[in-house]
Chains A and B, each alone.
Chain A
Amino acid sequence: MLKDIRRNRVDVVIIVCVLIFAASSLLAVFSATFATESVIWNSTFSRQVLWIIMGLFIGAIITFIPPAWIASSAYKLYIILIILLFLTYFMGSGVGSRRWLSILGLNIQVSEFMKPVLVVVLARFLAKDYRTPDRPDVLFAVSMLVFLPFILVLQQPDLGTSLVYLVVLLPVFYWRGLSPFVIFVLCSPMITFFASFNFWTFFIVILLISAILYLSRRGRVFFTVVFLFNIAIGIIAPIAWNSLHVYQKQRILTFLGLSSDPQGVGYQIIQSKVAIGSGGLFGKGVLQGTQTQLRFLPAQHTDFIFSVIAEELGFIGAILLLAVFMIFLVRGIYIASTTKDQFTGLLTIGLVTVFAFQIVVNIGMTVGIMPVTGIPLPFISYGGSSMLTCMIMAGLIANTSLHRYKLY
């Protein structure tokens, strides 16, 4: 016990990582907007400075809040954000989509703030001992908690962010003790989804799923429910696909190599790869990246900010940033594994999942191995909502690290 009390302090690794991210973000945003705004102290850059300072401040506050407060305010915050998402649906703004809600003159992307709140809600819900994840009613309730914001954000449309919500589910379940078999059952609709566009692949996949279900010997009712659900997915999927926006379909198709689109999304990926590739081992130097400075890079201060870093700082710079991200995530998992408390453990693992998913998908997108989904790079991309959300989430992880050996 003595040993534990000694360790009970804010995790320095997390703090240092966040500070490194903040510095990298300032450098990258400065470089990415240098050519556009021409004035050295440009407004985009100065806004980002403001977001970072605000974020660090908020993160610091959150670090020291008693975890019990966080848990107790979870549902209230969730309901407030759901209402705000509804409001965004009716009075939101944005180019070709409705993502921003204007509150007190500030344009807020509610879906960003939903990320930590959703994780907190899930952790809070599953933290109760009797809510074991193998209970169908628990599974259903949790799925509903996720589906509501998922649907609201998907129709904005913001496929990327809504996927983040979805992705949190499984790791959190797994951490709560869900068996890998059930995870397979939960994943099966996704497989069915992709298989459903061709009758024969659909047929084979359904056969395979049925076989595994049968061999698991979980009873007739279970078999029937899962089987019918998969069938339903197979029927609904093509219809859902057709209701997707053209550009969303295009993005997915382009990524899958099914559509040649030299001027659209494919163009973004090509320009990003050219920027990164031409950076080489050591990079072209800050403000020297021709792709960046001549703005061949699409959304270079937001979604494609990693390309800016990779072009100007090269492989070395990119790998260093990746390493810090890796340390941050691994540290987060470590913190989750050391906390004695179910709630903070689930909370931290959920947050790490959000970070990991966004980092991998965003960087994967810039290097051309993931589809273009419009997910920002945590801590680095320009944007107030994104930056504040990341800082809140980092604050929550730091909070766990501070309280992990304390039972309350």
Chain B
Amino acid sequence: MIVDQKKYAFYALITLAFLALTLQLANLQIFERRKYLRHSQRNRIRSIIVQPKRGTIFDRNGVVLVENMPSYSVSAIPYESAKDDSLFYHIAGILRQDVHEIQNKIQSARGPFTPIKLARDVEFSALIRIEEQKLDFPGILFDVEPKRHYPAGVRAPHLFGYIGEISQSELRIKGNDGLQKGDIIGKKGLEKIYDRTLRGKAGYAYHEVDALGRVVRDLDIGEESHPVSGNDLYLALDGKLQKQAEEMFDQKNGGVVLLDVRNGGVLVDCSKPDYDPFIFSGTLEMDAWRELINDPDKPLYDRMIQSTFPPGSTFKLVLATAALQNKAVNLTEKTVCNGYVRLGNRIFNCWKKDGHGAVDFMEAIKRSCNVYFYRLMPRVGVDAWAAYAQDFGFGKVTGIDLANESSGNQPNREYLDQIYGKNGWSTGMLYNMAIGQGDVLVTPLQMAQLAMIIANKGRYYQPHVLDRTYNAESKRTIPFQPVGKSTELVSEEAYDVIRKAMLSVVNEEGGTGRASWLRDVLVAGKTGTAQNPHGESHAWFIGFAPFDKPQVAVCVFVENGGGGGAVAAPLAGEMLKAYFRQKDTLTAAL
């Protein structure tokens, strides 16, 4: 009977233990079932953001300028990879990163099963090493991300700009509502300006994942949304010409703007020195970045729209127009140029030391006589001169679809009073400004715009890089609507005279812009040589062609390049020649 007693003690113990197990099972599987069922569904279904395809950027002829190429990024699932510290050292070595950085990244993950990006744009060789040792790298994944590349060989970094991971401050900007950490947005240039057009809309997919976060299969639960690809941009830019311009200005500081005068489209906007936009498409090396921002030549700046310079003699066109319109000048009246003008005890030189002799209005423009314009300035007066300059768009931005455009500086009486005091400024200052020196500062784009205005006799368009956007899904093209403008103060007759004078600059004996002369096309233009305290003069040339039915306006600027006629004019001629030759081949091909 003692054995029986002991037997029952065992029975009791086992019954008790099994009862506990059964109760807990019932608790989990019957009473708390809903909670755990929800849990298990959340466990295995993960919503994944499907990044949209960013739009491609084409030139006006459909040549691909900027498009996506695959790059590889490496991520880690913290739960899996955090088990073994030695793994971090390994991965850090392969990715050439700091171990602590990687550990920090993993610690900042949202959850143990959410992959966290360790490195973007990983080299293919590193990828292979990770793939080879896959078993030693639990929880390490890689995926494909688009990055930008530039297949046409057109750099135009100031135009295209670049893309990058959204920053904290950018996340707070309105219009970026749908974005989240880690998303890629346009940071500069067209990528930034037209970011929302290019970007597209992210979609959501639902994946069934296993415990390692690996996708087992796509789920079709009816709640997913497909990503909407970004729109493509077709630029007014001519890739071939742009490339040619970039080659022309290689090793120079400066650039060229070529505008289509019929709609304001920017055919060429080349600013040198520049940088290869491709270096921004992956992970930017700190050294490369430092080099860029510390470069004294400032390659990050678009000289054509962001930097201002004294325009030199090209600006005489403003005073000439003002004088014509105000009847302050008699076309036949001649002024003798001895090479200088004395004002009080100061001497104002003509660029030609021996003087031009007796010159009339047309001659003065053709040969760019400073003395003539010194004398003209007081007759027009600062107020009229400033008013015309403003009418031509100086002192304000052109409104081009690029960021950080500079408005330059257009002095008027108010400005002079303010800077120098009511009686602090002199006629001497006006002399300087008459020939585009002194306080006058312009952007090359503004000068190209002036050429466009004169070419069109007052009608002009807000310069724009974009020509049209294209939606691949709806197959719809939305053309850019150019903003038409016109000058208010200048009559057609005055334009005729100025145009004729500009024609003579290029086409007549003694003209300063002879170097831009073309055999088949009548080019009109004006040179400028802007003295500056920082060294050699800046060389300018603005012009348009063909004379009778203008198509393009050009502005060439070479920083510290020397004389406008000798340095800028030939470059402009080359640019125009390239434009018309290409046009001929195009029309021939059509």
A-to-B contact residues, CB < 8 Å: 35, 171, 174-175, 177, 262-263, 267, 271, 273-281, 290-291, 294-297, 310, 314-315, 318-319, 322, 325-326, 329-330, 333-334, 336-337, 345, 349, 352, 356, 360, 363-364, 367-369
Contacts and interface: CB of A to CB of B under 8 A. Distances in A.
Interface string B18-36: 1011101110111011011
A310 B25 contact: yes
B30 A262 contact: no
Which of A177, A281, A290, A310 is the most central at the interface, judged by chain B CB atoms within 10 Å of its CB?
A290
Nearest to A264: B83
Which of B32, B211, B212 is the most central at the interface, judged by chain A CB atoms within 10 Å of its CB?
B211
Contact of B43 (A177, A274, A334, A336): A274
A200 to B, nearest CB: 30
Given A280-B29, A319-B22, A296 B211 contact: yes
Nearest to B15: A326
A280 B37 contact: yes
A318 to B, nearest CB: 5
B405 interface: no
B210 interface: yes
Given A262-B112, A263-B79, A294 B216 contact: yes
Interface in B199-223: 208-212, 216
B21 A276 contact: no
Contacts of A333: 7, 10-11, 14
Contacts of A319: 22, 25
A74 B206 CA distance: 60
B25 A294 contact: no
When A and B form their complex, which 4 residue pairs have the shortest distance between CB atoms, in order from nearest?
A: A277-B36, A278-B40, A315-B29, A277-B28
B210 A295 contact: yes
B39 interface: yes
B480 to A, nearest CB: 51
16 contacts: A273-B36, A274-B40, A277-B28, A277-B36, A278-B36, A279-B29, A290-B43, A294-B44, A294-B216, A296-B211, A315-B26, A318-B25, A318-B29, A333-B14, A337-B7, A364-B20
Contact of B33 (A175, A280, A291, A368): A280
A83 B372 CA distance: 116
Tier of interface size on chain B: 35 or more
Nearest to A272: B28
B475 interface: no
A361 to B, nearest CB: 9
A377 to B, nearest CB: 12
Given A296-B40, A315-B26, 12 more contacts: A274-B40, A276-B28, A277-B29, A277-B36, A291-B43, A295-B212, A315-B25, A325-B18, A330-B11, A334-B7, A337-B4, A368-B24
B380 to A, nearest CB: 81
B588 interface: no
A326 B22 CA distance: 11
Contacts of A263: 78-79, 82, 112
B3 interface: yes
Contact of A337 (B6, B21, B28, B35): B6
Contacts of B208: 290, 294
B17 A294 contact: no
A290 B208 CA distance: 10
Interface string B387-413: 000000000000000000000000000
